[in-house]
Structures are given as structure tokens and as C-alpha cells.
Structure 1
Amino acid sequence: MKIWIDMLTPKQVLFFEPVIKALKERGDEIVVTSRHYREAELMIRKRQIKAEFVGAHGGKNLVSKLSASLDRTEKLTELFKDDLPDAVVSFSSPEAGRVAFGLGIINVCVSDSPHATAVSRLTIPLADCLLSPWIIPDKAWTQFGIDRNKIQQYKAIDPYVWLSRRDLKNNSNSALNIDHDKPTIVLRLEESHASYMLNSEYTQEFALIKRVVEEFRNHNIIILCRYSEQIDLVLQKFKGRVIVPTDLVDGVKVLQEAKLFIGLGGTMTAEAALVGTPSISFFSGSFFVERYLISKGLLTKPRDIDGVIRVSRNFLRDDKLKKQMRIKAGRIRSGMEDPVDTIIKRLDILMREKLNQQLVRK
């Protein structure tokens, strides 16, 4: 088979990398596309994945988002119109979904984010198959127009894909220049350019950073930004008081080194919880993966900044907590399955169904 994989974010690169490897090992032809987007480009180059960058992220403005998506759709059409892949696999890529629908390509969609309603409305109804974590009920997806029989669940949280391929017992230090005699706090900023965060402002983020800096002066405070704009603003306001990596870091190593993680997004919060780092979510909304991790005792979600500071103090005071959380996280990971196998099996089924349909028409 010729398989097209469209990867738009760092999470998607880490998630699809073993899919690409497995498909190549069995002899499938793989074409990888992405877009010009800071963290995605850095991750693809770091992982040494051969990819064609088509189009760009549209930023935060609605008009620029629409224009960028239309431009990317047209460029992807030109790229594939004379040599169609058999199937495309994406993590709810609107452009890949539209091109697949228009050109008759099998469309396999992976998603754990029904809370991303704009993207879901554009992609889920067009999918030939939707693969999703088992903790997300079918009704969360059927509201977007997909038939229930097109949904297949896998028993895993998405970061399990790359965490299961890492030696989490190896606690080697990250490459960051920090004082290893001090406890480390990691903050991951929100995805403020995402469609479901367009009304978000940086006010809350910076109020949280300010409090953390004031309360925990004798700690390493690492701020992981998503965009160049965030890096510039954080350095402008907190330079000398926080550590702001300008290059991509090994997230797993940083999380293993941290005594506390505070997340304003989704993926790295789930990753930190599954690693077993004491973790706090300060995401402004709510989503299924977050609620699952809270129910398992791997994640805490205070109501406000005062609550974040109070829980942080408690976590940092407890020297036994991190070991306990790692043991608990390990038990939960041991009950998960590899979504890579599920994706490949579903691709094979869809391809056989398409070939059978073609034979019937003849």
C-alpha cells in the first residue's frame, strides 16, 4: 500500500513515528507531510523523519486560519492528484480529510479531542474510520455526524505510544542547564492558537507564572512555550527568574527530572501523569483524558491560581510522592494496549473492503 501520513503537531510526530516504522518494515510506501509550524518542524527534524512541508499554520486570526487551510488543501491536491495514495492517516487534519474525500482516498482519522469542536466538525464526518481512546464514549463523536460502526476504540491514552517505547527507569538528566541541587517545576503553556482557545488571553498564564516565581524562589522553574510569541513574552516579563528553552527539549527527560508539572494544555499534561510526575492541570476547559487521569489519581485540577499554589506546596513538601506516583502510573500503563497495531489492522481491513468493492463493480 501507499500510505500518506499528515502530521501537524509534535504530539502527532511522536504518535505516528512508530506507525511509519511498522508500515515501512512490512514494505508499504510511506509519504509524510506536515506544515510550517515551529514545534512540529523542530520535532520532525529532531526525529529525522523525511517529510514534505506543505503550507503553514494559520496563527490565531480566523481569516488567516481559513486562508492557510484553503491554501494547504490546494497544495496537497496538487501534490497527490497524479499519484494517489491508497489511504491517509491523520490526527484530524482538516486539509487531509478534505483532499481524501475529494480524491477518493481511504481516510483514517485518529483523535482524542472531541472538545476541539471546530476541527472535529470539519474532519470526523469525512472519516472512513475514527480511532479513539476507549474512555471517550461514541456519543461524543456521533454528534459530529459519523456512524457508530466507523468508530474503533483502543485501550490507551495517546502518550502511551511513545512512553511504552522509552526506558522510563533510566533517569538521565535533560540537557538543560539547571541547578540539580534545586527541585524543578515545569510549566507547559496553553495552545492559545488552537481553534478551541481563540478567546484565550495570556493574562491568566502570566498571572500563574508570576505567582509560581514568587512562591518558589528556590526552585528551577522551566517554562515550555509553544510559539515564538510566547517565548518572547515570557522572556520579556520573567527573564532571569525562569528557564525558557528556545529549542525543542526531550519532554520525557524533563518530566522525569521535575518534582512538579503544571500544564495548561492537554498532551504534555497526560504525558506527565503517565510518567508519574506529580501533575496539576490548569487547562481552562475540560476533556475526557483529563477527567480519566483525575479519576485514577494521577492528576489534580485546582479551581484557581490560589489552589494551584496550595497543591504545589503540598506536592513539593512530600518527598515520597513522586515514587508513589511513578508506581501508580506504571500499573496503569501496564493495562494499556499499543494503538499502532490497531491503526495498521484497520488500514488493512479498509483496503481489503475497497478492493472487494472494486472487484464487484467489475
Structure 2
Amino acid sequence: MAIQPEGKTGMGRRRKVKKIWVAMSTPFQANFFAPLIKELEGEYEFLVTAREHDRITSILTAKRIEYLTVGRHGGRSLTNKLEAYADGIREMLPIVQKEAPDLLLTERWPEAVRVAFGLDIPSWGIFYDERETHVNRMVFPLVSRVFSPRFYSFQELFQNGVTDPESVVWFNGFHTCYLKGESLSGSNPYRRIGLNPPVLFVRPEPEFASFFPKHEPTLERAVRIIQKSGKANLVVLPRTDLQRHRYESLGATILDSSVEDSPVAHADVTLGAAETMLMESFILGKPTVSSIYWTPSKPVTELHRYVRHSTEPGEVAEYVERFIDDDEEKMAFAEKASLLVRNMDNPVRLMINEIRKLSEEEPAEVSPRRRSQTEILIDIIQSVSLTPLRPTHIMKSANISYNELKKIVETLERRRLIAEENTLGGKFYQATSEGLRLIEDYKGVKDRLFA
């Protein structure tokens, strides 16, 4: 079966999207897709399916999103995973056949993507973890549109099953940028259970994940040190009963009920080994300390450039206590995070725009206009706003020649808008704080004049 581009019929006309199926297999997806559903529910019908795993359904209940429970997590055993995969497909198939959606949105739930493919339903996925190659290669060859951070090259996506460069929608920043620009809608869950600031929110490691190695007590030891200091109220959101027992024995408060906002939104400091929640904390400008001790994904490696990270319990505790004790340090972190996040894209907003495009008439082709010198300068600063790049990568990203780049880089360096970094891996460039502010000012002017 050939994979048709989403929104197209075999004759090349746009395929009308009236009903969207959203399939959620992780808590992140419940939070990620919620604003999309809320914004588009007046324009499209929705079928939401979620597996019963790690509070996914309780998050949807807290957000007042209707759903059907389908499927289960197979755990770490390959045999159990296979059984869960087969059972999930059997459960999904009659539901999806009856509901007849026109488009599937998911992160990369294999069962959902396989059912959609079998029923000729276009599916869109999100790529943000290169470590789970086996899952990626099950999913992305069947997905018609992939949303991916620019941390990755297409070659890396290709190694994980993405075969068509035209299917990729690139975005700047982390997948957790769905929180960018979102207002808090829920009440403070910590006040509801009688806890006063400062609140330290702790999320333990994903012990069910296929990439997860043997458990190490780094986080528990750090929590024990912090708890003894008495400087903060510790709240833990465990994933398993075993994790719950571990942290209850340390005297931490357990967050039993899911909340409408991300739990980090109302905390004063976030600590943990939960990759996505640490990124959420950073996007919200919350002081963030990572204790991740296993091989990180590329986005996590990028995150560790901006947040405190250690695998030594004493050092982890020291970082946390410094944030709790020093308001200036908290403010400095929030300011730096805000400046960086301004230059990131909200992937949910991109996805909403792409969905709405499916209902538009296909525009006539327009010849691209030449960019102004100002636009070229801004494009170069933008290309190095989040991560250092080699000159060759800047040329490709900004679409300019080497001779043009050489002259412009000299100008930007002289004006302290980008800075050169010489490493063992070669020469790199990255935007300075002044460069980031210039991008923000430029966007503000464009928005005021042309929005």
C-alpha cells in the first residue's frame, strides 16, 4: 500500500479532514495534545484514545477531555510488549473502523499508527528520541508527517525510519514548547494539600522505558539530604508503587491526583530524572536540576547546556538548595530561560496551523522573493540561537554561500551578536544574549507591522 500524503486523495485533491483521532500512550501526549483539542474542538470532531498507564487518563479527566481507554503498557519484557501490541491493535481496530477518523495524531504509538495505516488514515507523529530506534522504525516509515526539533539532522531521522524529507516539519526548541505562551488554568495543587512555598517538585526516572538501565539511587539520596535540611516542602509524583514507597519512606509528600496544569507550573524548583518534565520546567522558567544518570537523548543533552545537572547526590542537593536560598539566582535562571524560549517554536501551534491548511484551497505557486540583507542577518543569528553550529551548517540553514557567510559573520562578531567557539571538534558559532534580544526585537516589530 502506498502512503498518500496527508490531506490528499489519489487524484491529488485535498482530502477533507472532519474528524481527528488523537492516540495517547504517555502522560506527555495528554498534556501536549490538550491545547490542540481545546482550540480545534469547535472546528473538528475528535476521537481520543488513551492507554491506562502512568496517570494518562487521570490527566485527561483533570483537563475535562473525553476519551476511550484502549491498550496497556507491556513493561520491560519483550514478550509482554508483543502481547500488549497485539491486544492493543485488536481493541483499537473496531473502534477506529466505527468512528472513521480522517487523520491520526500521536507521538509514536506503534499500535495506533499500524491501525491507521491498515485503514488508510494519514498519521502524524513527533520525533524527539533517537535512542528507541526499534520503536521509531516501527512507526515513522508509516507516518505521513513528522514534527521534529532542529537538534536532529535528516540523516538521524532517516536512521530512525523517516524516509521523506518533505514529510518533516522542523521546529526550534524542545517538544515541551507546547507550554510556550500557554496560560495557567488550574489552581495551585500544593496549596490544596496544605503546603506552603518553597515547594520542590520531584519526578523520578522512567523505569519502564526501554532505554532505561539499572536503577541507581542518585535521586533518593539527594532527596534525603534536602529533606534533612528542612528548606523546602518536597512533593513527589511517582510512576510506580515501588517509587511511591521509596519516597514515602523519605518523608516526601506524594502527589496522588493529576492536575490540570503541568505539576512544575506551581512549584518553586523542579528536581528529577524525568526528561520531559525537566524540559517543561525549563520552558516555564522554573529553576531546574537534573539528576539523569543514563545515556541522554539529544534534546536532553541540549537541555543540560541550560540547567544544572549532576549525578552526585550531594551536588544535586547543593544546586537545589542554592535555588531555594537565593532569589537572585532564581531570577537569573528565569530570565535566561525566557530569553532562550522566546526563540523557540510552539510545536502544537505549528501542528494546528498544518491541520487548518488541510481545509484551505491550494494556493497558486508564487515565485519566492529575494531576502533583504536584514533578513539574511536575522536568519543567521536565528540559526545559531539555540545551539552552536559549524559554518557549513549555518550556510545550509541560512541558505547562503561561503563568501557571503564569511563577510556577515565578521560583521555579527564585531557587533557582538554572535560569538565564535573553538573546540576540539572545530569552529562553532552561537548567538550571544545581545543577538537573542535582537531577534526578539525584530519579531516584535514584524508582529506590530504585519500581524
Using structure 1 for the length normalisation, give the TM-score. Answer: 0.84
Q: Distance in 1 between matches of 2:191 and 2:93?
A: 41
Question: Rg: which structure is higher?
Answer: 2
Which range moves more in the overlay, 85-94 or 307-316? 307-316
Name the counterpart of 1:119: 135
Q: 2:253 aligns with which of 240, 243, 246?
A: 243
Q: 1:145 aligns with which of 131, 138, 161?
A: 161
Q: Deviations over 1:223-281 (max 9, x none)?
A: 2212334223432x32xx211112224554654432x3212011110111122222111
Q: Distance in 2 between matches of 1:68 and 1:144?
A: 22
Q: Distance in 2 between matches of 1:249 and 1:231?
A: 18
Closer/same/farther in 2, CA of residues 286 and 312 from structure 1, 3 Å limit:
same
Closer/same/farther in 2, CA of residues 335 and 100 from structure 1, 3 Å limit:
same
- Three-state SS of the structure 2 residue aligned to 1:36 is coil
- Three-state SS of the structure 1 residue aligned to 2:254 is coil
Q: Distance in 2 between matches of 1:126 and 1:4?
A: 16
Q: Distance in 2 between matches of 1:83 and 1:217?
A: 53
Closer/same/farther in 2, CA of residues 203 and 311 from structure 1, 3 Å limit:
closer
Deviation at 1:24, TM superposition (A): 2.4
Is residue 108–residue 347 contact of structure 1 (8 Å, CA) maintained in 2? no
Which range moves more in the overlay, 88-97 or 101-110? 101-110
Which range moves more in the overlay, 276-285 or 312-321? 312-321
Q: Deviations over 1:181-200 (max 9, x none)?
A: x6332221011112222x33
Closer/same/farther in 2, CA of residues 66 and 202 from structure 1, 3 Å limit:
farther
1:223 aligns with 2:240: no
Closer/same/farther in 2, CA of residues 79 and 202 from structure 1, 3 Å limit:
farther
Is residue 60–residue 193 contact of structure 1 (8 Å, CA) maintained in 2? yes
Deviation at 1:13, TM superposition (A): 1.2
Structure with more relative contact order (C-alpha pairs < 8 Å, separation 6 or more): 1
Amino acid corresponding to residue 128 of structure 1 in structure 2: S
Deviation at 1:219, TM superposition (A): 2.5
1:86 aligns with 2:102: yes
1:3 aligns with 2:20: yes
Is residue 276–residue 322 contact of structure 1 (8 Å, CA) maintained in 2? no
Unaligned 5+ runs, structure 1: 354-362
Give aligned pairs, total. 342
Using structure 2 for the length normalisation, give the TM-score. Answer: 0.69
Q: Distance in 1 between matches of 2:62 and 2:277?
A: 18
Name the counterpart of 1:34: 50
Name the counterpart of 2:409: none
1:277 aligns with 2:289: no
- Three-state SS of the structure 2 residue aligned to 1:81 is helix
Is residue 191–residue 265 contact of structure 1 (8 Å, CA) maintained in 2? yes
Unaligned 5+ runs, structure 2: 1-16, 362-451
Name the counterpart of 2:198: 183
Q: Percent identity?
A: 24
Name the counterpart of 1:359: none
Closer/same/farther in 2, CA of residues 252 and 36 from structure 1, 3 Å limit:
closer
Q: Distance in 2 between matches of 1:34 and 1:340?
A: 19
Deviation at 1:53, TM superposition (A): 0.7
Q: Distance in 1 between matches of 2:356 and 2:256?
A: 41
Deviation at 1:51, TM superposition (A): 0.8
